[in-house]
């Protein structure tokens, strides 16, 4: 471990061994998160449960979307009956309407096989849509993602859990990788101790 940490501190050309520690994981996250993750293309591979092929395979419900920290009080409603916001236990009429429309398009595509319905479904799919991908990378790439200048303190909860550290997020997951505190988060200066 002392040698590993010395090589890490010597820079990317010396810590090549991190590129040989492979990680493969299934991640379910909203499309807006995947758009950011897609900026990390060096030494990564992602295989999704394809939106193009699987989108119509099950009914579209609220469970298909990321709603963990949704706050309907922040949404502007032009109709007078919603001027005061929505009831706390109600995801909202706007969400219900959107889901009804998406489900209508899905059903029409299944009935008719008319690709125009499928195209509209894809076109109007919100960024909160949850997609599962099997993601493969290595410790060097994960180290870059988790660096303090990148995603470690990101404002999206899905990256850093800044609003609610108890929820699953990428940084929390990365910290659970074997020897992550010494090989990925070594800048936090945690002394190495041999595990018994």
User: Please, what are the averages of pLDDT over each run of 10 residues along the chain (196 residues)?
Assistant: 92 93 94 90 75 83 82 58 51 72 95 95 90 93 86 84 78 94 86 61
| Burial of 171: CB neighbours in 10 Å, binned 0-12, 13-18, 19+ | buried
pLDDT at residue 73, rounded to an integer: 63
**d(Cα 23, Cα 166) in Å, to the nearest integer?**
23
Distance (Å) of CA 151 to CA 17, 63, 144, 165: 23, 26, 9, 14
**Do residues 195 and 149 both lie within one domain?**
yes
pLDDT at residue 89, rounded to an integer: 45
| Among candidate residues 71, 102, 124, the one where a domain is terminated | 124
pLDDT at residue 72, rounded to an integer: 64
pLDDT at residue 84, rounded to an integer: 55
Please state the domain count of the chain.
2
Distance of CA 177 to the CA centre of its chain: 18
**Do residues 99 and 141 both lie within one domain?**
no
Question: Which pair of structure tokens corresponds to residue 141?
Answer: 């790439």
**Do residues 154 and 101 both lie within one domain?**
no
Which single residue is written with the structure tokens 């108890």? 166
Q: Residue 148 is part of which domain span?
A: 1-55+132-196
Question: Which pair of structure tokens corresponds to residue 59?
Answer: 């009914």
pLDDT at residue 162, rounded to an integer: 73
**Do residues 187 and 156 both lie within one domain?**
yes
């Amino acid at each position: 471990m002392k040698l590993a940490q010395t090589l890490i501190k010597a820079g990317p050309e010396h810590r090549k061994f991190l590129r040989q520690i492979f990680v493969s994981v299934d991640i379910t996250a909203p499309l807006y998160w995947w758009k950011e993750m897609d900026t990390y293309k060096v030494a990564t591979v992602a295989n999704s449960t394809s939106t193009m092929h699987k989108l119509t395979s099950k009914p579209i419900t609220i469970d298909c979307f990321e709603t963990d920290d949704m706050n309907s009080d922040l949404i502007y409603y032009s109709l007078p009956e919603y001027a005061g916001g929505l009831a706390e236990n109600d995801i909202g009429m706007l969400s219900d309407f959107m889901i009804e429309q998406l489900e209508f398009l899905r059903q029409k595509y299944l009935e008719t096989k008319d690709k125009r319905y499928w195209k509209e479904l894809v076109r109007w799919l919100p960024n909160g849509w949850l997609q599962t991908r099997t993601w493969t990378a290595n410790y060097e790439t994960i180290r870059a993602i988790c660096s303090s200048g990148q995603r470690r303190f990101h404002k999206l909860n899905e990256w850093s859990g800044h609003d609610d550290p108890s929820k699953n997020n990428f940084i929390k997951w990365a910290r659970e990788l074997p020897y992550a505190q010494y090989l990925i988060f070594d800048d936090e200066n945690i002394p190495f101790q041999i595990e018994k």
